[in-house]
Amino acid sequence: MMSITEAEKNIVQFNSSVKKEIINRIVKENGCPLCSMVMDFEFDFLAKLQHKVANEENIRREISSEGGFCDFHFRQFKKIAGGKTNILLLNTIIEEKIYSKDPSDKKDNYGIECRICNSVNEYEKECVKNFTDILRQEENRNKYKATNGICSVHLKQADKIIADENIKLWLNNTYKTQIERMQGDFEEMSSHKSFYEIDREKRKLINVLIEKLAGRKTRGL
């Protein structure tokens, strides 16, 4: 029998912890559990990265050679990192990328390979994969059906990797059912003359439905 390598053990442990967290968030979250996990991962990644950028010149050089971050993550980084950290990184990018005076330097000075995007996208793929895995168990499907469920963005991603056509059909029908359940609440809210007459808890459904329809990238809105 072949022995399991340390790397393989780490993968198994990672997938197991992701599955447990997905099930936990399915039960507790009002919005998309996968959006919630991805946003938390992204914040933790940014928090650790800004500390490294502030204290390690080699990390600043690496990020500079990658062109920095995409627009969205530059702005997220700016919010989380201190002003001095932002200045250090931007100054390194200027030194590293833009103002080469050597005409023989053919390096692409304007491309961006955002490491935050890459890490978040990879984690998101693993979350979606593990989500589809837990749906194989009827107990998990029953838990999921009673909630507001995942967003349309993650539904499309899950659709692409679910091999079982019955589960795929069930997931899409459940998505519709979860939206239809909100219809009565929105009809009731529409009957009020003023937004402030509506119960505070019920108002939260506005953000829940927007997230259900379009996904969510940040907790800042």
pLDDT in tens, 150-170: 999 999 999 999 999 999 999
Average pLDDT over residues 181-208: 93
How many CA atoms are closer than 13 Å to the CA of 194, on its beta-carbon side?
A: 3
Rounded Cα gap, residues 127 and 149, in angstroms? 14
Rounded Cα gap, residues 63 and 220, in angstroms? 25
Average pLDDT over residues 68-89: 95
Domains of the chain, by residue range, sit at: 6-214
Average pLDDT over residues 121-137: 97
The residue written with tokens 């790397």 in the block is 7
What the block records as the tokens of 192 is 């009020």
* 24-33, 47-56, 91-100: range with lowest mean pLDDT: 91-100
Average pLDDT over residues 186-197: 94
The residue written with tokens 């990184």 in the block is 89
**What does R_g of the chain's alpha carbons equal in angstroms?**
22
Give the pLDDT of residue 21: 97
1 or 43, greater pLDDT: 43
Model-wide pTM > 0.85: yes
Give the pLDDT of residue 210: 94
Residue 172 identity? N
